[in-house]
């Protein structure tokens, strides 16, 4: 089945290192934010792994397209809950976004969502809201990368 990825490595980088959850408690916010900025928008290794897991290029494309369609509402759920200062809703929305992003290989968005959840759990709503401000930009970059991927297959 060979999925051919057309990802501009100049914009999207390469696969990141170990998963974020284990790294969060051990790193300060500045170090973790720097890690986010270095993370690829779309992890080609994860997308290739996903291709192997679904055993069908058409199912992979269907999944990635659905992720792309649902992305604006997932981001909006996090942002709206943060604006309302609704910690439980923001945490649930951030966790949902992080897990769906992880499945799709959306590395940077996953890390941002995990940081939001971490800040909320630590009682730092202002930091969570500050981090949440970058969701729109990061989601836009991801949407562009996914669109290129989906049209290049």
Reported as a single tens digit per residue, the pLDDT across 106-152 is 999 999 999 999 999 999 999 999 999 999 999 999 999 999 888 87
Spell out the domains of the chain, with CATH numbers in brackets.
21-152 (1.20.120)
* Residue % of the chain over a pLDDT of 70: 80
Q: Nearest CA to 115 among 18, 29, 15, 2?
A: 29
For the residues 77-84, what does the mean pLDDT come to?
Answer: 98
Alpha helices by DSSP H, listed for 3-134, are 9-12, 20-23, 29-38, 44-54, 57-83, 87-104, 107-121, 125-132
Res. 81: pLDDT tops 90: yes
**Looking at residue 3, what DSSP letter applies?**
P
Q: Picking from 30-39, 64-73, 81-90, which range would have the lowest pLDDT averaged per residue? A: 30-39
The torsion angle over the Cα atoms of residues 50, 43, 17 and 124, rounded to 10 degrees, is -100
pLDDT band, residue 94 (cuts 50/70/90): very high
Residue 94: both structure tokens together: 């951030």
Res. 153: pLDDT tops 90: no
- 2 compared with 150, residue with greater pLDDT: 150
> According to the model, what pLDDT value does residue 13 have?
40
Report the C-alpha gap between 86 and 83 in whole angstroms. Answer: 8
Angle between helices 57-83 and 87-104 (to 10 degrees): 160
> According to the model, what pLDDT value does residue 18 have?
38
> Which CA distances in Å does 139 have to 22, 42, 71, 146?
23, 11, 7, 10
Residue 67: both structure tokens together: 């992720």
């Amino acid at each position: 089945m060979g999925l051919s990825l057309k990802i501009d490595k100049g914009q999207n980088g390469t696969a990141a290192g170990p998963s974020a959850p284990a790294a969060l408690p051990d790193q300060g916010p500045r170090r973790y934010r720097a890690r986010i900025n270095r993370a690829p928008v779309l992890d080609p290794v994860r997308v290739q792994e996903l291709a192997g897991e679904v055993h069908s290029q058409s199912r992979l494309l269907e999944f990635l397209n659905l992720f792309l369609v649902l992305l604006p509402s997932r981001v909006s759920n996090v942002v709206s809950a943060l604006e309302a200062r609704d910690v439980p809703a923001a945490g649930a929305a951030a966790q949902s976004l992080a897990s769906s992003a992880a499945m799709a290989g959306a590395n940077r968005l996953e890390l941002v969502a995990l940081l939001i959840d971490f800040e909320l759990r630590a009682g730092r709503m202002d930091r969570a809201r500050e981090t949440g401000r970058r969701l729109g930009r990061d989601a836009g970059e991801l949407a562009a990368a996914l669109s290129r991927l989906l049209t290049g297959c």
